Structures are given as structure tokens and as C-alpha cells.
Chains A and B, each alone.
Chain A
Amino acid sequence: MNQTLIAFVEDKPGVLNRITSLFRRRNFNIDSLVVGKTEKKNISRMTIVANEKNSEKRKNIYFNLIKLINVILVKDVSDIPCIEREYILVKVCINSENLNSFNELAKKYGARIIDLSSNSAIIEASESKDRISILIDKLTPFNIVEIMRTGKMAMQKGLEPKNKEVHNINGQQNLTDNLWATKQLNSYLK
């Protein structure tokens, strides 16, 4: 199984560059990387899917990522219950003969037709990676013209325990709630 990491990073120029540079430099493979703004000002959130099977190397990716100064917090959610979604846009060729079966297929796999012309259609879907793959398989007979996939986003299920302690690191108040990160660090270091 691929490694899924959620990284909270400072929303500053060059941060994405630093992360991709790290993966390239250390010879880690990125499967997909999604980045966007969050509920917190000046903090962006990334879901990074790394194609690494070796468990020691996975930890190494985690520690190298958190070592970057602009990376505030990293969660390795590979083995944690998560909602995982990928968004997809597909343009296919259609005609009057297969329009009905196309409609049915879209309905069955939770896809929505968002553009329709006499000879083409665009559908969107947001599903787990596996269901997206099935959808693409089923669409293949319709002569796919273009596919655009965003890559995986992940969000942990349930609420995390609130962190009320103020973590004092080196005499400084660490303002991020890094209880989770501290826990994960410790479990990795055992």
C-alpha cells in the first residue's frame, strides 16, 4: 500500500519547491500531491502519496519532511481510518446511440454529467481511488478524449483529542498543536 501523508505547511512562496526538491533529492517517489488552503490563515494543507513500500524508508520520508523549516506538522495516515477522495474530469465522445447507456453508467458510479454537446460530454466524479479506477475502466468503451485527475485528498475520521498542554520546546512556546506529531514521533522512535 502506498504511504499517505498529510502535511500542514506555511503558505509562503517556494514551499512547494522545497518539498518536491526533497523528494527528488532523496530519491523518494511521489504518486500524487494535492495542495490547498485551510481553515487556518497562512497554513496550506497537502496530501502527499508516496510510492514507497519499505517501512524504514517511509519513516525516513516522514522525518525528512518534518525537518523542513516551513513544514509545521506531518501526519502519516497510511494506517489510520480516513476519508479519501480524488476528483476527476473525463471528456468522452458520445452519440445519440450510446447516450442512454452513458447516462446510466454515470448514475451508477456517482458521476455527474456537467457538459453535453452533440458529440461529446464531460463528467465529474469525486470518489475513492479504487472507484475512480473502475469508472475509468467502464468509460473506456466510450472513447475517452481527456482525463484530468487531482490526486488523492485525505481527512482523518472522527475528532482528535484536544491538545490543552502548551508544549515548551527549548524555552519557547510552540503555538502549533503538535501533540499528534509528538505522539507519532515517539511511536516512530521506539
Chain B
Amino acid sequence: MKNYEPKRILTGAEIIWECLIIEGVRTVFGYPGGAILPTYDAFYKYRKKIHHVLTRHEQGATHMADGYARASGKVGVAMATSGPGATNMITGLATAMMDSSPIVCITGQVPRHFIGTDAFQETDITGAVIPVTKHCYLVMEINKLASTISEAFYLARTGRPGPILIDIPKDIQNESVEFEYSNKLIQIPGYHLPPNPPNHHIIKVIKLINEAKFPIIFCGNGVILSGASSEILKLAEKSGIPIATTLLGIGGVPDSHPLVLGMMGMHGHSWVNHAIQEADLIIACGMRFDDRVTGKLNTYSPNSKKIHIDIDASEFNKNVKVDISVHSDLKIFLKELNPYLKTHTHKKWLRKISFWRKESHGRDVLNRKHKVLMAAEVIREIWKNTDENTVIITDVGQHQMLEAQYYNHENPRTLLTSGGLGTMGFSLPAGIGASFHSLENEIWIIVGDGSIQMTITELATAVQENSNINIAIINNGYLGMVRQWQEMFYDARYSETPITSPDYVIIAEAYGLSGQRVTSFDDINSAIKKAQSINGPAIIEFIVEKEDLVYPMVSTGADLNDMVQRPKKDYNLKSDNKKELLN
């Protein structure tokens, strides 16, 4: 029994910090302002128990919380003031929503009697974020503050994880009440978590697996969120079925495993997309058949039976019609399923896949010699110089797809990327956030010259926190992926895609961190090693081929196996020193 504790009368602001401490929060990413001032004043008292990271923009705070959540599996917390502080969070919330990342955002709101009067820095943030949050709250009574925060953390991390926003008026932060906190009392009548899987599904699933000749397993983000890596591997090994991953499923299974084929979809490996189209059974684990994964829907994997296992029932039959939908936590279901599996191999099927794999070998950019640095080479060299626990955070665009193709991940939560929303500017703040969890692990942020300039202000945060991060800027002087589309589908009219960059070495110096520039292949390794030796943030700018494309590519509206492959010769390179390029 606990000793008698005297009743504690606390202000709303103090309650916020007490609740965060009870929830195990050690780092909060935020930016103070008028309507959240009482909370920041109370923080002064709690600053030894919780570390606050002062970001340079509220979007950065949400991405940092997101990066922390993705790296750790715990709930990330961001804090901001009302009005513009809150609206700046919307991109970060939408990013977390699309990729099911558990974050809790706390915003200040104008005092209750000002709500609805268009007061200074008032915005209806709960109204604005309904479509981009799992749930959101406007706390209107001090009595409900503690229970709301505990409910928010519970919702964020359970079921299909997602972002929660809590809007707290300034006068509630100042009001006092007796503090009582229990996360055991949470009762949300409308929150339905899936029950344990009914048996008839297991029998049907086993039957389909036993009948299949060309089966394939899909590993999505759900594998990582549910912690089902060893279960899905067991399923694959025992039944001899190869695994393809989605972009967010990368790391869910080790790339070095002989049954792991790699990424599927628009820029997926050609052998994976061929295998999907020829398969007679798809076992989709914790993924949602995004349009970047399927290509044209009515010709998608036409001959296969499809089993879809997901914790969110609203994903079933949303894009792709499936034969069996299993509404369950992935780990629980696979644990029940695995003992019923027969040991089996699919030698013929695997041989067929390795044939496709060999066929594309000659088209791999790494198997050719170029005089100019290629982005894929940079990523491959980073991979060679880092260990399997290194956390890679990518931004959005060509470098993101090349990372997915050329960096082999062995462990879950080692690739953090904005897959669903495709938020440019995600990587730098998310990497800073991840560094607060992965203190032991090396962190590499791989980012394009367009993306880095969207949130480059957070370099100051990295310096202030002395975050141990390495930033590899892949600079091709273009918004590369948009330019790729313009080259392929808009007759090479490069409308507003050429982009200039500041001198990143001087930028690094100005912000007070280490900066290097690499222009040739021979300098990559020494630059990487130098960055690794620095305790604190370091930038390497890689000047790469300006007009390379990411291959293979499935055009929108094309069949999944109708891929544009890298030409036999790189006639498409149009760099200034083009003549030297071709060997």
C-alpha cells in the first residue's frame, strides 16, 4: 500500500508537466508563446526532470516528436502556442497521421472567455486538425485536464498509432485543482480495439497458404509498429515464402535475409514488381495498398488470392479487393498462425524471381563507371561505412527512393521517412528528434538540396543541442523528382525545378558546425569518416550528377510490371561534362 499522500493542489500548467513525467516523457520539443506562457513558466520548476528542446519553427517541433516516436516506438511530444504556433503544427500532424506515428501535440489556446471572439493569436485549431489527427481535444474544464492527457497518450500509442492534439486555454493553465492521475481508469466507450482473431480465419489462411504455388508476403509499417519482425520471418522461413516490403516496411525484415526481396511499388525493384504481378497468393501484413504500391488497380496482381491482416478495419477493400481480411494486431495473429504452418519450400518460384533479379543487374547504376558522382554511389558508400544499428532519416524525392534501393537495413526503426504524406523538410528535424532516443546509434540524415532548404533553420537547434547527427546533402541543383516527372511526362519543360543552394560549407560554418563538400567518388570515404569522428552535427554536401533519374519507375496509371528501366546506356545524362560521363 502506498503511504498517505497529502492532497496536491496544482495549477493546470503544473498538471501538464506532472502528467508528462508520469507518462515517461523525458524530452519535449517546443516553442513558447503567449497562450502557452504559464506552462513554460511552470516548466522552470520541472527542467531537471524533462529536457525541453527549443526548435526554430513549430513544424520542426512536430517532426522532431515524430522522429523520436518512430525511432523509439514511444510517444513523442511537441508543444506550441495558439494561433500561428498551432497552425504551423498541421503539416507535422498530417505527416504523423499518414504514417501512423504516435505523437501528442499540446497547444496553448486563448483564455476561455476569448474563444470565438477572434482574439489575438486565436485559431480554431481543433476544428482545423480533425482530418489530420487520430483525435483532438479542447480542454474546457480544469477537472478534465489530467484525464484528457492520459487519454491522449493511451490513444496515441494503442491500436493503429497516430497523432493527438490537446488544446488548452491559457486560463486553465493558470487555474488550480487537486491533482489526481491514473492511467488505469481510461474508459473510451467508442474506442474499439480488435479482439483476438477468430479461428475460422486461421483455417482459411492456412488453406490458401498450402494451396499457393507462387506466394509472396508483404511487410508493411504494421510489422514495425506491432513488433512482429520475428513472427513474419518465421512465417516466411517455415512456409518458404519470399517477402517484399513497402517503403515504410523497410527494416521490418533484414535485407540480408535470403527470402527478403526488397521494396515494391513505383520505384521498387523490378523483380519484386514482377513477382507481385505473377503471384497466386499475397499475404499483406500491416500495409494499406497505397497507390504508390499498386500501380493501376484493375490489373494489380490479377491472379492472386489476397489475405490482408491489419489492425484498422477501414483499410480492408479500400483500394484492393481482398479475399480474407483479418482484423487483428499483426503480432498476435502471426503468433497464432505460425504453429499451424507446414514446412515448405518454393524452389521453382524463388528461381523465377532470381532470374528477374539477374536480368536487372546490368541496368544497375552501380555496375557502370561514371566520371561524375552518382547519388546512388553516395548512398551505397554511406551504407558501407555504417553499421546495422545506424538510423537513417531521409527526406522526400529522388534521394529517398535511392536510399530505399541502395541502403540495406537489417533492423526495425532504422529507416525513418515520410512515406504517406511525402513531407519535404521532414528529415533534419526528424533526425534531431531521433537523436534523443538513439544516443548510442549513429544517425545519418540523407536529404536533397531542395528538402534541406525547407527546414534548414533547425540546424541552429542541432547546434544548440549538440545533436550527434550527420547530414548528407545530395545536391543535384534541381528539385530532382519533379524534374524527373517533367523529363518523362512533360517534354522536359523544367518549369521552376532548377534550384540554387547556398554554400553549405559556409552555412555550416555560420551555424557553427562542421561542413565538407565532396565532388568525386574518391573523396566520399574520407569525408564520411571525418563526419563520423565529430561529436556533434556535421554536414557533407555531395555534388552529384544533375539529371539522373530514379529507375525503375512505374508511371501513374501503368501496370505494376510495366516499368521504365534504366536504359542500357546512360544517354539521358545531360550534365555539363556529359562527354566524360559515358564510358
Encode contact with A along B145-158: 1 for CB under 8 Å, 0 otherwise: 00000000001001
Task: For B316, give its contact among A176, A178, A189 (CB under 8 Å).
Answer: A189
- Contacts A72-B190, A182-B195: A18 and B130 contacting too (C-beta < 8 A)? yes
Residues of B within 8 A of A173 (CB): 187
- Interface 9-mer from B295-303, B317-325, B436-444: B317-325
> Is A59 in the interface zone, CB < 8 Å from B?
yes
Complex Cα–Cα for A39 and B325 (A) = 36
A13: shortest Cβ distance to chain B, in Å? 8
Complex Cα–Cα for A174 and B186 (A) = 11
Residues of B within 8 A of A172 (CB): 186-187
> Is B193 in the interface zone, CB < 8 Å from A?
yes
A175: shortest Cβ distance to chain B, in Å? 6
Encode contact with A along B176-213: 1 for CB under 8 Å, 0 otherwise: 00000000001111111101001000000000000000
Cβ-closest chain B residue relative to A71: B190
Residues of A within 8 A of B191 (CB): 69
Residues of A within 8 A of B325 (CB): 189
Are B189 and A60 neighbours in the complex by a CB distance under 8 Å? no
Residues of B within 8 A of A18 (CB): 130
Q: Would you list which residues of chain A between 170 and 190 have a CB under 8 Å from chain B?
A: 170, 172-176, 178, 181-182, 185-186, 188-189
> Is A70 in the interface zone, CB < 8 Å from B?
yes
- Contacts A69-B155, A69-B190, A170-B158: A21 and B314 contacting too (C-beta < 8 A)? no
Residues of B within 8 A of A182 (CB): 195
A24: shortest Cβ distance to chain B, in Å? 9
Are B313 and A10 neighbours in the complex by a CB distance under 8 Å? no
Are A169 and B193 neighbours in the complex by a CB distance under 8 Å? yes
- Contacts A56-B321, A69-B155: A21 and B192 contacting too (C-beta < 8 A)? no
> Is B127 in the interface zone, CB < 8 Å from A?
yes
Are A67 and B312 neighbours in the complex by a CB distance under 8 Å? yes
Encode contact with B along A59-84: 1 for CB under 8 Å, 0 otherwise: 11001101111111100000000000
Are A170 and B193 neighbours in the complex by a CB distance under 8 Å? yes
Are A10 and B317 neighbours in the complex by a CB distance under 8 Å? no
> Is B135 in the interface zone, CB < 8 Å from A?
yes
Complex Cα–Cα for A15 and B304 (A) = 41
> Is B126 in the interface zone, CB < 8 Å from A?
yes
Are B190 and A9 neighbours in the complex by a CB distance under 8 Å? yes
Cβ-closest chain A residue relative to B192: A66
- Contacts A72-B189, A169-B193: A60 and B198 contacting too (C-beta < 8 A)? no
Are A69 and B130 neighbours in the complex by a CB distance under 8 Å? no
Cβ-closest chain B residue relative to A175: B189
**Chain B binding surface, main DSSP class:** loop
> Is A98 in the interface zone, CB < 8 Å from B?
no
> Is A14 in the interface zone, CB < 8 Å from B?
yes
A173: shortest Cβ distance to chain B, in Å? 8
Are A69 and B188 neighbours in the complex by a CB distance under 8 Å? yes
Are B131 and A25 neighbours in the complex by a CB distance under 8 Å? yes
> Is A96 in the interface zone, CB < 8 Å from B?
no
Residues of A within 8 A of B313 (CB): 63, 66-67, 185, 188-189
> Is A17 in the interface zone, CB < 8 Å from B?
yes
Complex Cα–Cα for A25 and B94 (A) = 14
Complex Cα–Cα for A176 and B192 (A) = 11
Task: For A10, give its contact among B189, B195, B321 (CB under 8 Å).
Answer: B189
Complex Cα–Cα for A45 and B555 (A) = 46
Encode contact with A along B499-513: 1 for CB under 8 Å, 0 otherwise: 000000000000000
Complex Cα–Cα for A10 and B158 (A) = 21
Are B190 and A60 neighbours in the complex by a CB distance under 8 Å? no
Are B187 and A60 neighbours in the complex by a CB distance under 8 Å? no
Residues of A within 8 A of B312 (CB): 67
- Contacts A21-B131, A67-B314, A182-B195: A14 and B126 contacting too (C-beta < 8 A)? yes
Residues of A within 8 A of B321 (CB): 56
> Is B327 in the interface zone, CB < 8 Å from A?
yes
Cβ-closest chain A residue relative to B329: A170
Complex Cα–Cα for A94 and B494 (A) = 69
B131: shortest Cβ distance to chain A, in Å? 5
Complex Cα–Cα for A33 and B490 (A) = 45
Cβ-closest chain A residue relative to B200: A190
B409: shortest Cβ distance to chain A, in Å? 31
Residues of A within 8 A of B190 (CB): 9-10, 66, 68-73, 176
Complex Cα–Cα for A13 and B321 (A) = 36
Are B130 and A60 neighbours in the complex by a CB distance under 8 Å? no
Looking at A14, A63, A185, A189, the one whose CB has the most chain B CB atoms below 10 A away is A189
Residues of B within 8 A of A181 (CB): 192
B194: shortest Cβ distance to chain A, in Å? 9
Complex Cα–Cα for A178 and B325 (A) = 21
Q: Would you list which residues of chain A between 4 and 44 have a CB under 8 Å from chain B?
A: 9-10, 13-14, 17-18, 21, 25
Are A176 and B126 neighbours in the complex by a CB distance under 8 Å? no
Residues of B within 8 A of A64 (CB): 314
Are A63 and B189 neighbours in the complex by a CB distance under 8 Å? no
Complex Cα–Cα for A18 and B321 (A) = 27
Encode contact with A along B120-139: 1 for CB under 8 Å, 0 otherwise: 00000011001100110010
Are A169 and B195 neighbours in the complex by a CB distance under 8 Å? yes
Complex Cα–Cα for A70 and B6 (A) = 35
B526: shortest Cβ distance to chain A, in Å? 51
9 contacts between A and B (CB under 8 A): A14-B126, A59-B317, A60-B318, A72-B189, A73-B190, A169-B192, A172-B186, A178-B192, A182-B195
State the 7 A-B residue pairs at the shortest beta-carbon distance, nearest first.
Answer: A63-B314, A72-B190, A63-B313, A56-B317, A69-B135, A64-B314, A170-B193
Beyond A21-B130, A60-B314, A174-B189: 17 further Cβ-contacts under 8 Å?
A10-B190, A14-B127, A17-B127, A18-B130, A25-B131, A60-B317, A63-B314, A67-B313, A69-B188, A69-B190, A70-B190, A169-B192, A169-B195, A178-B192, A181-B192, A188-B313, A189-B316
